[in-house]
Chain A
Amino acid sequence: MKAHSIPVLMALIAIPVAAASATFAADDVDLRTLRDEVARLRDTYEKRIDALEQRLVRAEAKAASTESVAANAAAPPQPTAMAGTNAFNPGISLILSGLYSNLSKDPAGYRITGFHLPSSPLADITPQRGFSLAESELGISANVDQLFYGAINFSIHPDDTVSTEEAFVQTTTLPQGLTLKAGRYFSGIGYLNEQHAHTWDFVDAPLAYQAFLGGQFNNDGVQLRWLAPSDSFLEIGAELGRGANYPGTNRNKNGSGASAIFARLGGDIGASNSWLAGLSLLSTSPQDRQWDDINAGGATVTNSFTGSSKLWIADGVWKWAPNGNANQTNFKLQGEYLRRSEDGNVIYNGASTGSYAARQSGWYVQGIYQFAPYWRVGLRSERLDSGTVDYGSNNANLLRPDYAPARNALMLDFNPSEFSRIRLQFAQDKSFQGLTDNQIFLQYQMSLGAHGAHKY
């Protein structure tokens, strides 16, 4: 602008001047006066232009230097456009999962030798050969109001049945570290029990979870948790509930059929390490809990247990990531020890009733190492101890195998984003006495919709 303005102004001035000089060409004096006048005018204009230009430069400099201050002063609040009736729609998330299994042994008649699983959880944990849809999950959650949060999780099984894994409401505003939950939820016992299947590090639940909890224990009831105000992590929780699921049974009775208590400690060691350790107790009182068994004579019989069942779980997790940055590499070591004692009566094949006392245990330990972005490798080793089982007067009828079911698994997974995972798993399963099942699994797990926030 500066470069052009002077010639333009000069031209504008020059036109009337030229016209004037033509009219009065004859008069030298006039001409001289006119020239002086023009020179004076030009001089004035140039001075004015110079002054203006200088002012402009100063103004530009000032504007530039105050730009940030102006930006600071004018706080632009975000105009957030809310979409009418949809604005309160809850968060929806969907888990899609599929599985290919190659088993060296026929899974028909699968058992965990020495452990009495009812037919329903047994069918759920029995692997299938070939292609199958794994568990799909639909989750819906939102804050209810200023006091409550609510969530539901449907599990859609490969055989087209749907079950409600979780459906609970939870307080958000109880003071002093308290949280109360009511409805159906995965019990807070152990480390893995609360975690949904799609966050597991292996295709299947550990053998001990399968043997003692039918895979995973959910309960209809109430749960209270308390987080201590201490500097390091201490959480205590208690639950009362229906206890309809294994190791409990459905009952026609007022009051609670299952109670649980758990306590956890945890913390950090430097920036790179964190840990969590817990102890829990699940007490249930199953009534007429039936299972199919092979008797001493080799015949198939159906027995039932009524009494009390207590399951202790000790769990520990340690996670490492350099400087706490898990993006490149990280490591997780996790282990749990489960011990169950059951006392009561067993009715042998609908006929003779005898006392029953069993002390059984199991453990697993697993390590997961992310060796490069997206890629993780994991190893899990596990073993059950069928322990001591006393059928009282039925000891002659029922077998008490001295066998320790065991399984080892190796997995490799590829996680192209937070939302997708493809996993290859090899396992050698010796949970059924006399059989070694070599298993190969190929699995995908994808999540879409609302961004899940996962527990530690």
Chain B
Amino acid sequence: MAPTLISFAAPIGSVASLGAALRKAVMLNRSIMLLLAMAFGVFALPSFAALNILACEPEWGALAQELGGDKVSIYNATNAFQDPHHVQAKPSLLTKARNADLVVCTGAQLEIGWLPILQQQAGNPKIQAGQPGCFEAAQFVHMQEVPSSVDRSLGDVHPGGNPHIQTDPRNIGLVAAALAQRLAEVDQANAAYYQGNYKAFAERWKAAILNWEKQAAPLKGMNIVVHHKAFVYLENWLGLREVATIEPKPGVEPTGAHLSEVLAQLQRQPAKAVIRAAYSDGRGSEWLAERAKIPAVMLPFTVGGSERAKDLFGLFDDTVQKLLSALK
């Protein structure tokens, strides 16, 4: 709450200058002078020491923090309880986009409903698509479920493939390498620092992956039901087998009829757990889990999605543990 209170001081101060600006604008009414005056920047700009990063999702914010350390200042556009498909280009995000040196997003059209508006309205050339300041993680991993053709009758499908790449830690490792390079490109003065952080992170990450894989060995071949098709990368990593989805089509809310169908299917093909992300509505999962007598498991899905998922390491510690406890 404290940061909110502090940020409130700013608009109060700017109301006075706003009033002055309005009066001035009225006086110059119908004059090109107004446009020119504003174009050449009447207002002084504060300078920022740290590299400003706007992370579209918390996992990329956490990764940028690992690599950027104290050289970066990070703002997460979404939290773990928000569906990154459905976010609005709200004023606070426009402000962060305007001041960002780098936006770190998933890409693959996950943020199509709001990121383009931020890019169009923020007046920040650095973060335009194709610029070094616009980093899309999906470009650096092997995308799965890339459709050969798309049609909206299939639900919320993404032409670039399934965008939920962060559920496989090996993807995080790939993105880390690319992001470290990008940080070095955007902030060349600290290039060595980012590379150093990356090397240390990559070591720790590699060891952590081996550890998670060892722990997760019993999960191989485990049948699961998922709420949304958000776990293909996790399934691929751990050898989980997705037997059904609670959403009849991606992004379409579960219906009673569909849930009954899934329940009937589970009689023939039993599953060990019903998996959902922290931001998904739990009612469908709980309904099915209760009737199929299997646990409903809420995975953190991203950093901040559970008590233990405080950082990227905690995210996968908790994911693996939650899946293992469902097996028991």
Neighbouring A residues of B30 by C-beta, 8 Å: 240, 255-256, 259, 283
- CB of A419 closer than 8 Å to a CB of B: yes
Which of B58-66, B139-147, B265-273, B318-326 forms contacts with chain A? B139-147
- Which chain A residues lie closer than 8 Å to B10 at the CB level? 230-232, 234
B128–A75 touching, CB < 8 Å:
no
| Contact in complex: B92, A236 (CB < 8 Å) | no
Give the chain A neighbours of B99 by CB distance below 8 A. Answer: 229
Our pick among B14, B81, B174, B253 for the contact of A230 (Cβ within 8 Å) is B14
B residues 90-141 near A (Cβ < 8 Å) are 90-92, 94-95, 98-99, 109, 112-117, 119-125, 128-129, 138-141
In whole angstroms, what is the CA distance A75 to B112 when docked?
25
B78 at the interface (CB under 8 A from A): yes
In the assembled complex, how far is the CB of residue A220 from the closest CB belonging to chain B, in whole angstroms?
15
Judged by a CB distance under 8 angstroms, whether B1 is at the interface is yes
Q: Is the CB of B152 within 8 A of A417?
A: yes
Contact B206 A69 (CB under 8 A): yes
User: Contact between B177 and A271 (Cβ–Cβ < 8 Å)?
Assistant: no
**Is there contact, CB below 8 Å, between B7 and A75?**
no
Bound: A383/B121 CA distance, A? 33
CA distance A263 to B43 in the complex (A): 15
Looking at the complex, which one of A65, A172, A175, A274 makes contact with B119 (CB distance below 8 Å)? A172
Which A residues touch B7, using CB under 8 A?
231-232, 267
Asked if B26 contacts A281 (CB within 8 A), the reply is: yes
A172's nearest neighbour on chain B, judged by CB, is: B128
What's the tally of chain B residues with a CB closer than 8 Å to chain A? 81
B38 CB contact (under 8 Å) in A226, A275, A279 = A226
Bound CA span A180–B79, Å: 32
Asked if A328 CB lies within 8 Å of chain B CBs, one says: yes
Give the residues from 261 to 291 in chain A that come closer than 8 angstroms, CB to CB, to chain B: 261, 263-271, 274-276, 279, 281, 283
B123 with A72: CB separation less than 8 A: no
- What CA separation (Å) do A143 and B116 show in the bound complex? 11
Complex CA–CA separation, A419 to B112 (angstroms): 14
* Interface residues in A, total, Cβ within 8 A: 75
Question: Nearest Cβ in chain A — how far from B127, in angstroms?
Answer: 10
Q: Which residue of B lies closest to A266 (CB)?
A: B91
* Interface pair B139/A77, CB less than 8 Å apart: yes
Give chain A residues whose Cβ lies under 8 Å from the Cβ of B87: 324
Please pick, from A229, A374, A417, the residue contacting B98 in the complex, using a CB distance under 8 A.
A229
In contact, B120 and A170 (Cβ under 8 angstroms): yes
Cβ-neighbour of A373 out of B39, B94, B253 (below 8 A): B253
Contact segment of B17-25, B187-195, B256-264, B286-294: B17-25
CB pair A232 B125 closer than 8 Å? no
CB neighbors of A among B73-92 (8 A) = 78-79, 81-83, 86-92
Measured between alpha carbons, how far is A244 from B15 in the docked complex, in Å?
Answer: 32
Residues of A within 8 A of B25 (CB): 238, 261
B142 engages A227 (CB within 8 Å): no
**Contact: A266 with B92, CB < 8 Å?**
yes
Contact A231 B35 (CB under 8 A): no
Q: Which of A368-382 contact B (CB under 8 A)?
A: 373-374
Alpha-carbon distance A173/B138, docked complex (angstroms): 24
A136-B107 Cα distance, complex, nearest whole Å: 31
- Among listed A398-406, A432-440, A446-454, interface-contacting one: A446-454
Interchain CB contact under 8 A, B281 and A373: yes
Q: Distance (Å) between the CB of A288 and the closest chain B CB?
A: 20
* CB within 8 Å for A228 and B14 given contacts A174-B123, A264-B91: yes
Q: Which residues of B contact A160 (CB under 8 A)?
A: none
The CA-CA distance from A267 to B92 in the complex, in Å, is 5
- Shortest distance in angstroms between A19's beta carbon and chain B's nearest beta carbon? 48
Q: A227-B98, A325-B279 are in contact. Are A68 and B109 (CB under 8 A)?
A: no
Q: Hey, which chain B residues are within 8 Å of A234, CB to CB?
A: 10-11, 14, 18, 95
B29–A270 touching, CB < 8 Å: no
A418: which B residues are within 8 A, CB to CB?
Answer: 86, 113
The answer to whether A78 and B32 have CB atoms under 8 Å apart is no
Residues of A within 8 A of B (CB): 65, 68-69, 71-72, 75-78, 143, 149, 170, 172-180, 222, 224-236, 238, 240, 255-256, 259, 261, 263-271, 274-276, 279, 281, 283, 319, 323-328, 373-374, 417-419, 448, 451-456
Inter-chain pairs besides A178-B39, A232-B7, 12 sampled, C-beta below 8 Å: A76-B141, A78-B142, A143-B129, A225-B121, A228-B95, A232-B10, A232-B11, A234-B18, A268-B4, A327-B281, A452-B113, A453-B114
- B residues with a Cβ closer than 8 A to A are 1, 4, 6-8, 10-11, 14-15, 18, 21-22, 25-26, 29-30, 32, 34-35, 38-39, 41, 43, 45-46, 78-79, 81-83, 86-92, 94-95, 98-99, 109, 112-117, 119-125, 128-129, 138-143, 152, 156, 169-170, 173-174, 177-178, 206, 209-210, 213, 237, 251-253, 279, 281
**7 examples of A-B residue contacts, CB within 8 angstroms:** A68-B209, A75-B140, A231-B95, A238-B35, A266-B91, A323-B79, A323-B81
